[in-house]
Structures are given as C-alpha cells and as structure tokens.
Structure 1
Amino acid sequence: MTKKHTSPVTPPLTLEQAHEMIHKLMERIAELEDRLKQNSGNSSKPPSSDGPGGIPPARPRKRSGKQRGAQPGHQGQRRQRHPQDERVSVTPYFPAAECACCGGNMLNHTKPHRVHQVFDLPEVSYFVTEHQLFRATCTRCINTDEAMLPDTVSHTQMGTNLLSYIALQSGQFHQSISQIQRQLQQHFGLHFSRGAISEAQGRVSAMLTPTYQAIKQQVQSAPHIHADETRHQRGGERRWMWLALSKVAVCFMTAFGRGQDAARRLLGELPETSALVTDQYAGYRFVATEQRQLCWAHVARNVAAIADSSEQVNHPVGARLVLLADMVFRTRHRWENGKLKHEQYLRRLRRCRQSWRVQLERGMMLCSSRYRGRCRFLLQDDDMLWTFLTDDRLALTNNEAERALRGYVLWRKGSYGVWSQRGELFRQRILSLVETAKRLGRCPQQWLRSVIRACIEKTDYPIPEELCVSSHSG
C-alpha cells in the first residue's frame, strides 16, 4: 500500500506573508471554535445532540422560589369510577354475620362504603374465520360449478383489525417491520413473514389514497400553511421527506430532492389569500414575499450564533440582535395574554423593526466575514420577517411543522429506511393520517379501521367533514 503524501505548507518568506498567514490561521481557529460552540440554541442541531447536561435556554425564566411538585391548594386528579357495564365484574364483601362486641346480628347496608376497582388486561389472542368454497355437479349434464368468495371478504389472510394494527405500529409508534413481526408472535401467537407484513402495509397504503388526496387538497387551500423538510433514505439513496400542515391537516410527501420542484409539488398553486411559514431555505423562494413568514425561532438561533462567536467584534452586534429577537417574542406573548393593546403591540414592534435593521446594517460592516453574509441575508429577507404584522393569526415560528416531523425522525432513527416506492407511499400516507388525526382530535385507529372496512366491504368511503375543502372556512 502506498501512503498518500500531502504537500507541506510553504513557510512565509517575508514579514507581509507572515502577517497574512497569521491572519488566515486566526480566522480558521475562530471558525473551528465556533463549530465547537454549536448547539441547539445557536444552530439547526437537534436538542438531542446537546448531551445529557444540555445547554441553558436562550431566554431563561426567573426562578419563582416555589418548590417542585404540587403547590398548596392544588386539587389532585384522581381516576373516576368506571361505569357499570359488561366489562365490570362486581365482587361484594360483607362483615361477619355476628357483632364482634355483643354477638348480635349484623344488618348489611344497601350501598358499599368504599369501592376499589382493579384494571387488568385480558389474555389477547386471535380468531380465524375459515371461508369454505364448495363445488357442485349437475346431475343431468355433469357440469361442475364452484362457489366464489364474496366481495365483502378480504382476499388476503389479514382482516381489518390486523391490517390497522400493523399499519399503526409503524406510522404511530415508529416500529420497524422486524419489531412488528416479534410483537405479533409474542402478543398474539401469530407468525407472519416480514414480506407479508410489508405487503400488508402496501395494501393499507392503496386504501388510503382518497384520504391522502383529501388531506393534501385541504392543506393546499388553507389560509395559513407551515412547511418543512428533513432527510429521507431509500436504500442507499438520500432523499427528502417534505411536510405541509394547516390548522386541521398534515400532509407528508417524499421527493428525490430538496429543490423548488418538490416544494411546488407539495404546496401546489398557493392561493393569494394564503400565507406560508417556513425557515430561510431558498426552496420556497417562488412564494411571493408578502405571502411568506420566516420562522423567528430559526432567526433567534442565527443571531445567537453571532453573539456566541469567538471574535470579540461580533459580540456587541450579536448581543443586541438577540435582545431584539427576544423583545419580539415578549411583545407578542404580552399581546396574546391581553397585557398589551393592539395599537401598543404594533407600535412597539415597528420600533423594534427599525432597531433590528440598524443592527443588521452594523453587522454587515463590523462582523467577521463568517457572519456578514448572515446579516446581509436577514436584511434582504426583512419583509418576510414581519409579515405577521399584517395578519394577527399568523404564527411567529415554524414549531408546529417541526413537532409534526418529530415522529418521522424517530421512526427514521429506529428503522433502516425504505427500499421501494411502495414503502415510500406507505410512509407518507400513514403519517399524514396519524398527524391529521391528532389535529382533529380523532382516534387514528378508529379512523383507519373505518377506511379499511369500507374498502374491504365495498361501502361508502369515510372522509371527515373537516377535510372537505368546500366546507372548510379556515
């Protein structure tokens, strides 16, 4: 094996060359130190990368002086008595028939003085419905005919409940196919191959096609939309999982890339009355400036990185930008809590916007080259930072989209990705149903069961009224 030799660094020959090299090395050291200081508070790194100790929050709260736990006067929460139905079995207990003091007869009360209920789970098993198809032969012409399986019976070996269980174990509880296989064996005594489980997910994916289309249409026509994206793996290829959500629906979509084509396919023709909340990613640049709101949580992390940088010249500008970003959040929260009138709210934010622009212009001149571009981009996108001033219902951050993506990120970490188009379609559709059910306050299991049952039994397909675009009022 031959060793790879790197060319040695040419030493400086003059004093000017030495000064130039020192300057470059100092910039390189500052850049490496800034990378070491990166955390979830000043970069796009997830909080899980901060380690067990974590980092102090960007906007620390003042200590209240109270001890942890319930405070005096707090009304405790207790489980209510389960109503009497077929799931409750009653076992009465009575005192002895004779009095322990005098030996007299004891008269039992009609109502118990105390009720103690113990909840338990039954022994879970499965049942099999065997459909026997017979042949019949004509006694005159010896013609043989055979019975056909009814259309209302599943043509596979999995029924409605089993299909919904397999689908939700992946989409809601982030289990891999191997883990689902072990659960079926351990909990139910069922033995299915991983291929059979994957095929079952593909069948559920096909059944969810109308549901997914309704969710996507509702999101694309909503007045306020949040969008985000994250990495997605198919085999050895890197792809992207996109997400767009509205007040009542969440739509996932897999794509080959992270460009504008994928964003256009996800968002469709954005209505002129709609507003989009995103980060500063350039893939959303096709959206008009007046229809786009940048996430202030991302902006706060960007300016926190300037304040935490190693170069002293960045500190004053970064610290002032952090204070102004914090003022935006505090003013918004005070107005939402009713502590500020609307006129005061707008007046303070307009003053804050003026100071914000001044500090960004100073940063373009005073900050190091590493952060000048960050200040310049924020100044160019200034109009998109303050769109919320024209629409009080518009959110300051894109946290809703990031929270909706969290379930997929956990699923991605615990599995090996997907290996086919069928797997990608299943992921985007089951995730859309699960996250939409959360926003609608519905049970994902009941919704999915009704969809599968309608497809198997050939009945009316269930579409929630909230997803009908014609009846949606925003």
Structure 2
Amino acid sequence: MSKKHTTPTVPPLTLEQAHELIFKLMERISELEDRLNQNSGNSSKPPSSNGPGGAPPARPRKRSGKQRGAQPGHKGHRRERHPQDERVTLAPHYPSDTCTCCGGDMLAHAKPHRVHQVFDLPEVSYFMTEHQLFRATCTRCIHTDEARLPETVSHTQMGTNLLSYIALQSGQYHQSISQIQSQLKQHFGLRFSRGAISEAQGRVSAMLTPTYQAIKQQVQTAAHIHADETRHQRGGERRWMWLALSKVAVCFMTAFGRGQDAAQRLLGDVPDTSVLVTDQYAGYRFIDNGQRQLCWAHVARNVAAIADSSERTNHPIGARLVLLADTVFRTRHRWENGELEHAQYQRRLRRCRQSWQAQLKRGMVLCSSRYRGRCRWLLNDDDMLWTFLEDDQVALTNNEAERALRGYVLWRKGSYGVWSQRGEQFRQRILSLVETAKRLGRCPQEWLRAVVRACIEKTNYPIPEELCASSHSG
C-alpha cells in the first residue's frame, strides 16, 4: 500500500521548516512525475494502457533497414490443391466443339490444363431427433408399462455437438451468454434462453471433472512450472484467477484471494526437483529459493523504471542495470542460437551477475528513497534470479503463463465476470482444456466432443496419453 501524502495546513515559521517543506514537496513532485511516466515498458501496466502513441519497448531492437513486406528471394506460399473426396463437386468446362481457326472438330484432352477451386460454406441448419416414448397395456391384467429413454440419449434438449459448441464459444472464443444466444438464433435458427445456455455450460463443466483433475495432477508433478494470477470478478466480489502450466498442460483455478494459501492449493506439494517460474509476488514464498526462477521480463521493467526516473541520481544506476538485463537476454539468445559455447555462456553470465550485484548495492545507497527498496529487494532475491544457470531448461521469463492467461483476460472484458460457483467452475475447466489442447497440438473441439459423447453414451472416458504418462519430464 502506498504512503498517503497530505499537504501541510500550517505554514512554515522558520527557514529550516521552509527548507524541510520544499524538500518534501520536491520529493512528492518527483514521485508523481514517475507515476505519470509509467508505461508497459517500465511497470506492470498492460500494453493496451499506453495509448495510441505507444511506449518504447524495454529492450529496443535495432532497425534492419529492410522495407516492410516480402523480401527479395522470399519463397511464396500457395494453397495446396484440395484432394478429391465427398466434399468436392466437379464442374468440367470444355471449349467449343468447332475450331475457331479452321472450323474442324475439336477433341477434348483427358486432363484439365488448369484447376480453379472455389471454397464456400453450406447453409447451416440443425437436425433434431424426436424420441417418442410409448405405453403398453396388458390384455389380461390391464397392467400398463412405459418405455424409458435409453441411457445413451441426452436427457436434455441439447446433444453432443450443441453442448460442445456452446462451451467452446465461451472458452475458446470468449463469447458471453448473450452473444452465444444471438449466434444460435442467427446461424442455426435455434432459440434457447440464457438460463438454458448457462445450464448447458454447467453440464459440460461436470463432464470435464476427470479431465481437469488429470491436467492439474500433470502440472503439479512437472519438472518446470510457470504460474501467474490476475483479477477475477464474481458478482460484486473481487476474486482471482490463478494459472499454472507445464510443457504439456495448463491448469486454471479460481480463488477468493491472492494469498499464499491459494498458491499452495494450485501448486500442491511441488517436488523437490521442480523449478517454478514466477514474478516477484510474495505469494510464492513457500517455495524454496533454489526452486524458483524470477521472470527477467518483470525485472527488466523494474530497472527501466529506475532509469526513467526524473531524479538525476537514479539515471546512471538504472541505465547500467538496464544494460546488464539486456546482456542477460542477449547472451541467452546467442547461446540458444548456437553462437556461443556453453562454457562461454556460463562464464559471461557469471561476470554479468557480479556486475549486477555491485550496481544494486550502489543503488541501495545512491538512489532516491523510492528506488532504494527496489534495489534491496532485487539483491535479496538474487538467488532466484539466476536459477536458470543451474538448469538450462528453465526459461528466463514467465511469458508462457502470461500468454496462456491472455485468453481469459479477453473473456473477462467481454462477459462481465460470473455470478455463481457453477460459472466459476466452468471457466476454469473449459479454459484448462482449451489451453492444454493448444500445447498438445490437439483440436479443442474434437477433444471436447469426445468427452461429451463419452459421458452421454456411457463409453470409455478419453484422457490424452500425454496427461496419463509420467509427468515429471515436462
């Protein structure tokens, strides 16, 4: 919580009091100027808050000097010819039977010299199966029996494809219930109430329970885990949406708060050999320092704020820290591209670490009071900044988690949160399936259809092999 500043109501009576007031006001002005200069490059503000002009990137790239668009020598990409199957309708076109030159008979070639394929969409409609249940009366004792609906038939008015469509329109395409209602009416001619659509989402959520449990277990036992959290709205209450991901799975979880207990519930008992990549948020402090890697993208923004400060004493130290952070990224990328040997990569980063620590110690003494604590915080967390030196598979940034969380942020903007526990469960489960499908290279629609069909028709429940296999390799 930021310190509250108030304007003195009693005017200074002595020269010393006047100097003290001027010093406080100058410090306050400097702090307000720093807040005005905040952007996505030197703070945690999102890029959408930069405005039309935008903000300079934290690590600007050199201009290549090339013009926009395709470059000379670029190999063009053309659509491959669609294979002949039941979706293709052939429409042959022949020239005139009579030669336009001499009037002789024309003999058509066996193969076309050119093929022009035109893709279009069919008129979308729906089909409905009416299950008629009859009664039968015994001719001797007049006992009456009633036919029962088969167990393999949906007990609601929505079948497999419709349930899957409604769920994915929310989880993958970020549509609100009102927008889904409008689409069903406009595209298919179906009219369902908002309550029926919400109930359908609840049914899908219940069907996804084993899938969600498998995803969560895989993430909790993975060797490398990324975690992040963002604001979540339920009615008038402010809650949080948490996320943890591994190489093959993404798990979302809603929670009342942003405290350490929610992080523990999400991550479970993290194995001693696992590494967790996060930002500097204190909610992950229950993880041992040797098992955490702090996101260098967040660190780069923190030191960029020192360099962009309005006070002159901060600029030299901040500029040096920005240069060192950029060196970390550049060295890592050169090693990943094969331009550096592993020994060179390690040696350069260890020298960079020594310079980094020296600059932070200087910042704890020479920077303004606003940024001394930031330098002290980074120095105290130094062990968590360089975990990637011990494990080459550890990522430098937490961008994986932020990209996976982006879909939910867009959904939150367009649908105004949820209003019930059922809505919260649906969001965390459908988002987990959609984002996990992306990482596995699977089609979310096909996966969800298989789950819904298995639950309705009482067949074997489909769990991908990647989630069933031993998780501690990803």
Matches within 5 A, 1:246-285: 246-285=246-285
Deviations 1:97-122 (A, max 9, x none): 11111101111111111100000000
Corresponding position of 1:290: 290
Report SS of the residue matched to 1:287.
coil
Matches within 5 A, 1:6-405: 9-405=9-405
2:388–2:394 CA contact under 8 A, matched in 1: yes
What is the one-letter code of the residue matched to 1:118? V
RMSD: 1.0
Report SS of the residue matched to 1:323.
helix
Report SS of the residue matched to 1:136.
strand
Instruction: Indicate how the Cα distance of structure 1 residues 24 and 305 shifts in structure 2: closer, same or farther if over 3 A, else same.
Output: same
What is the one-letter code of the residue matched to 1:73? G
1:234–1:418 CA contact under 8 A, matched in 2: yes
1:306–1:315 CA contact under 8 A, matched in 2: yes
1:292–1:384 CA contact under 8 A, matched in 2: yes
Deviations 1:343-385 (A, max 9, x none): 1100000000000000000000000110000000000000000
2:218–2:471 CA contact under 8 A, matched in 1: no
Corresponding position of 1:437: 437
Report SS of the residue matched to 2:320.
helix
1:174–1:410 CA contact under 8 A, matched in 2: yes
Instruction: Indicate how the Cα distance of structure 1 residues 424 and 139 shifts in structure 2: closer, same or farther if over 3 A, else same.
Output: same
CA positional deviation for 1:177: 0.2
Instruction: Indicate how the Cα distance of structure 1 residues 8 and 301 shifts in structure 2: closer, same or farther if over 3 A, else same.
Output: closer
Corresponding position of 1:3: none
Deviations 1:201-240 (A, max 9, x none): 0000000000000000000000000000000000000000
CA positional deviation for 1:471: 6.6
2:219–2:471 CA contact under 8 A, matched in 1: no
Deviations 1:74-106 (A, max 9, x none): 111111111111110011111111111110111
Does 2:466 match 1:466? yes
In structure 2, how many angstroms separate the alpha carbons of the residues matched to 1:25 and 1:285?
Answer: 36
Deviations 1:417-441 (A, max 9, x none): 0000000000000000000000000
**Sequence identity of aligned pairs in percent?**
86
In structure 2, how many angstroms separate the alpha carbons of the residues matched to 1:359 and 1:286?
Answer: 28
What is the one-letter code of the residue matched to 1:473? S
In structure 1, how many angstroms separate the alpha carbons of the residues matched to 2:421 and 2:204?
Answer: 14
TM-score by length of 2: 0.98
Q: State the number of aligned residues.
A: 469
What is the one-letter code of the residue matched to 1:457? E
2:225–2:274 CA contact under 8 A, matched in 1: yes
CA positional deviation for 1:470: 3.3
In structure 2, how many angstroms separate the alpha carbons of the residues matched to 1:460 and 1:156?
Answer: 21
CA positional deviation for 1:469: 4.3
Deviations 1:278-301 (A, max 9, x none): 000000000001000000000000
In structure 1, how many angstroms separate the alpha carbons of the residues matched to 2:273 and 2:8?
Answer: 61
Report SS of the residue matched to 1:462.
coil
Corresponding position of 1:424: 424
Report SS of the residue matched to 2:470.
helix
Moved more, 417-426 or 45-54: 45-54
Report SS of the residue matched to 2:459.
coil
Gap runs ≥5 in structure 1: 1-5
Instruction: Indicate how the Cα distance of structure 1 residues 345 and 120 shifts in structure 2: closer, same or farther if over 3 A, else same.
Output: same
What is the one-letter code of the residue matched to 1:242? W
Report SS of the residue matched to 1:306.
helix
What is the one-letter code of the residue matched to 2:212? Y
CA positional deviation for 1:58: 2.1
Instruction: Indicate how the Cα distance of structure 1 residues 400 and 269 shifts in structure 2: closer, same or farther if over 3 A, else same.
Output: same
CA positional deviation for 1:7: 9.2
Gap runs ≥5 in structure 2: 1-5
